[in-house]
Amino acid sequence: MSKPANAVLYGFHAVTVRLKTHPESVSEVHIDPSRRDARMRSFVERVREAGVRLIETPDERLTQLAGGPRHQGVVARVQALAPKHSLDDVLDEVEGPPLVLVLDGVTDPHNLGACLRVADGAGAHAVVAPRDRAVGLNATVAKVASGAAETVPYLMVTNLARTLGELKERDIWVVGTSDSAERSIYDIDLNRPVALVLGAEGEGMRQLTAKTCDELVRIPMAGAVESLNVSVAAGVCLYEALRQRR
Ligand SMILES: C[S@@+](CC[C@H](N)C(=O)[O-])C[C@H]1O[C@@H](n2cnc3c(N)ncnc32)[C@H](O)[C@@H]1O
């Protein structure tokens, strides 16, 4: 078997979650020696407990390693985790009604990171995206996701319409979202197996994706703007599902 590729994670949350969930995959952690605050001290403690090599590295080099300045004085070299699951594997393990977030064309790493974070918060079981219209799990996504890139399976599929068909075969109700839909998200039953489909930052869901959905819903907009940022819309929809499932 080939060795997993190396990758870089940065920021307290992203590195702490990796240390918690897969300490064996962390080769070394670089920290800024000029940071001596409580957050850094407890982080260093955690790295030591995990038995991972700790290296003091000047800020400039950390910025180089992270590919930007937003590392908070923490950069880790890690082995990329092999994608553990297929959608079937994930769904087979779910207890209770599955909740899946589908992103049809989200290509901004900040948006994907924010979607993963809110998917984790709302207890979604997976995030699904079409391979040719999506951003992969890079260091920016992991940083913005604040650890959720490690906890929520992110599955890139070859043919999204086919995957939606497979979800329907599993009796998962596929709900598309569009600011021009008639029904409100607040008027549908989300306390059942559900996949929520969101569209691209600019043009929304593709036509074929929208046609494949069981129904389309909108998030009410009470002001002047027509639509929400995709990660905010994901938060509204996922938390409505969570609220109904209490
Ligand atoms: C910036 S919006 C794209 C807006 C685009 N005009 C459209 O037709 O959907 C990105 C995605 O966020 C979701 N979204 C944003 N605002 C929404 C709203 N008011 N109702 C339903 N979905 C919304 C949809 O999934 C949308 O595809």
Residue 7 has a pLDDT of 87
Is 92 found in the same domain as 66?
A: no
For ligand 1, the distance from its centroid to the CA atom of residue 181, given in whole angstroms, is 10
Is 102 found in the same domain as 59?
A: no
* CB-ligand 1 contact for 216 (6 Å cutoff): no
For ligand 1, the distance from its centroid to the CA atom of residue 143, given in whole angstroms, is 24
* Reported ipTM exceeds the 0.90 cut: yes
* CB-ligand 1 contact for 178 (6 Å cutoff): yes
Size of the chain, expressed as the number of residues it contains: 246
- Specify if 192 maps to a domain: yes
Residue ending a domain, choose from 79, 114, 135: 79
- Specify if 189 maps to a domain: yes
Residue 5 has a pLDDT of 60
Looking from the CA of residue 217, the nearest atom of ligand 1 is: 21
* CB-ligand 1 contact for 188 (6 Å cutoff): no
* CB-ligand 1 contact for 101 (6 Å cutoff): no
Is 110 found in the same domain as 63?
A: no
Residue 6 has a pLDDT of 72
Tokens of residue 33, six digits: 């020696």
The list of the chain residues with pLDDT below 50 reads 1-4
Tokens of residue 156, six digits: 């890139």
For ligand 1, the distance from its centroid to the CA atom of residue 187, given in whole angstroms, is 17
Is 102 found in the same domain as 61?
A: no
Is 113 found in the same domain as 222?
A: yes
* CB-ligand 1 contact for 227 (6 Å cutoff): yes
Residue ending a domain, choose from 29, 54, 79: 79
Is 229 found in the same domain as 115?
A: yes
Indicate which residue's Cα is closest to atom 4 of ligand 1. Answer: 204
Number of folded domains that form the chain: 2
Cα torsion 138, 139, 143, 149: sign: positive
Is 194 found in the same domain as 116?
A: yes
The annotated binding site is made up of 199, 219, 228
pLDDT tens for residues 189-226? Answer: 999 999 999 999 989 999 999 999 999 999 999 999 99
Of the candidates 185, 66, 196, the one whose C-alpha atom is nearest the C-alpha of residue 125 is 196
Looking from the CA of residue 198, the nearest atom of ligand 1 is: 25
- Specify if 156 maps to a domain: yes
Is 93 found in the same domain as 73?
A: no
Residue 144 has a pLDDT of 94
* CB-ligand 1 contact for 209 (6 Å cutoff): no
Question: H/E/C letters for each residue in the chain?
Answer: CCCCCEEEEECHHHHHHHHHHCHHHEEEEEECCCCCCHHHHHHHHHHHHCCCEEEECCHHHHHHHHCCCCCCCEEEEEECCCCCCCHHHHHHHCCCCCEEEEEECCCCHHHHHHHHHHHHHHCCCEEEEEHHHCCCCCHHHHHHHCCHHHHCCEEEECCHHHHHHHHHHCCCEEEEECCCCCEEHHHCCCCCCEEEEEEECCCECCHHHHHHCCEEEECCCCCCCCCCCHHHHHHHHHHHHHHHHC
Structural domain harbouring 230 = 87-245
Determine if residue 234 is left, alpha or beta; phi over 0 gives left, psi from -120 to 50 gives alpha, anything else beta: alpha
- Specify if 216 maps to a domain: yes
Phi (first) and psi of residue 80, to 5 degrees: -60, 135
- Specify if 1 maps to a domain: no
Residue 214 has a pLDDT of 98
Maximum pairwise Cα distance, the chain:
56
* CB-ligand 1 contact for 102 (6 Å cutoff): no
Residue ending a domain, choose from 27, 53, 79: 79
Angle 129-27-118 from CA coordinates, rounded to 5°: 30
Distance CA 133, CA 171 (A): 26
Q: Are strands 126-130 and 154-157 parallel, antiparallel or unpaired?
A: parallel
Residue 83 has a pLDDT of 65
| pTM for the structure as a whole | 0.79
